[in-house]
Amino acid sequence: MRFANRLPLLRALLLSWLLVANAGPAVAQAPVLTLDGLPRPATPPPESGPVVPERVLGWRREAQAYERGDNVPRDPVRAAELYCRAARYGDAEAQYSLAWMLTNSRGIERDDAAAAHLFAAAAEQGIPQAQNMLASMGTPRGAPPPCLVQPEEEAPKPRLPAKAARAAPAPPPPMPIPANAPAPIVNFVKIMAPEYQLEPGLVLAFIATESNFDPYAVSPKQAQGLMQLIPGTAARFNVRNPMDPAQNIRGGMAYLRWLMALFEGDVVLVAAAYNAGERAVERYLGVPPYAETRAYVRRILASTGGRTNHPFDAKVTDPSPQLTLMRRGVPLR
């Protein structure tokens, strides 16, 4: 047999000898932490008491400290849970940071599906890095993860059954008129609002929140006039000149009437949709996880005296098919 042909056999014999020579008492091997074995952070429970923006910012900063080990022991699980708390209240940077941890297995279990939703929420709030990541990951699929589910105090409540509704107390008093509302605008709204089956106080609350009664207001997104109609909404409701106060108010009321029918009089969902768009409300099954939208909804509710329901005309449009899911809750994981 030629030497070259004997090489594989010699290697096998040498390997066998080495294994026998180094054999000894069995030694317990330390467990190897693989990517599949990384921990999955728990979803934080509902918050107690009101959550103000400073509190949300504090969660994000604390999360950053635990993620990086700044003056505290590095703890990625704790960081992820704090990012989740802030993300749930619309903090775009927390949404992006948590998505990055989930995508790169930064001390927690990888979850690309949840990360895609978080990147999308951050991208929709203008985070450029999130927009780049979302472009590479594609459209999020499935229901949003728990860290993007609207807080319990903002969630839509089930409507009363018909029999219970007939036995309900007398209608609440009219919604208040904003103290700084100019008399000509108040008078015009009081005359026109019944035509759109809207309470004047509700319409004026939206005008106050949108433009503070400035008929010449224009936003960076080209929303115009008293009710801040974007060009697409103005065209949709036949507003030819959005800077004309009468046309603008009528167009805004037409949109509010349509949203009231779509969300069956739920003021929380209508306010969220007026600010962020009805498709965002349907996609997130409630108030979208945007800080601006969450603050907007709170301002509308404060202006209307906390009213969360309003009469609606069911003939205007069919209700959103997502309403049933919003009201009964859906499994998110």
Give the pair of three-digit tokens for residue 276: 């962020």
Catalytic annotation, residues: 210
- Return the HEC string of 108-172: CCCCHHHHHHHHHHHHHCCCHHHHHHHHHHCCCCCCCCHHHCCCHHHCCCCCCCHHHHHCCCCCC
User: What's the angle, vertex CA 90, arms to CA 89 and CA 96, rounded to 5?
Assistant: 120
Are 104 and 188 contained in the same domain? no
Q: What is the average pLDDT score of the chain?
A: 85
CATH code at position 324: 1.10.530.10
Q: How far apart are alpha carbons 160 and 183 in whole angstroms?
A: 37
Of 148, 174, 206, the last residue of a domain is 148
Are 113 and 208 contained in the same domain? no
Domain extent, residue 68, equals 52-148
Are 144 and 177 contained in the same domain? no
Are 159 and 143 contained in the same domain? no
Cβ atoms of 79 and 66 within 8 Å: the answer is yes
Q: How far apart are alpha carbons 272 and 266 in whole angstroms?
A: 10
Are 223 and 79 contained in the same domain? no
**Count of structural domains within the chain:** 2
Are 284 and 190 contained in the same domain? yes
CATH code at position 100: 1.25.40.10
Residue 19 parent element (H or E): helix 3-21
Average pLDDT over residues 214-230: 95
Give pLDDT, residue 159. Answer: 56
Instruction: Residue 52: count other Cβ atoms within 10 Å of its Cβ.
Output: 11
Of 103, 125, 148, the last residue of a domain is 148
Are 210 and 285 contained in the same domain? yes
Give pLDDT, residue 249. Answer: 98
**pLDDT tens digit sequence for 250-284:** 999 999 999 999 999 999 999 999 999 999 999 99
Give pLDDT, residue 35. Answer: 43
Give pLDDT, residue 214. Answer: 97
Are 174 and 204 contained in the same domain? yes
Q: How far apart are alpha carbons 266 and 263 in whole angstroms?
A: 6
Could you tell me which residues come within 8 angstroms of residue 241 by beta carbon, excluding any fewer than 6 positions away? Answer: 247
Q: How confident is the model at residue 167 (pLDDT cuts 50, 70, 90)?
A: low
Q: How confident is the model at residue 198 (pLDDT cuts 50, 70, 90)?
A: very high
Are 124 and 272 contained in the same domain? no
Of 122, 148, 174, the last residue of a domain is 148
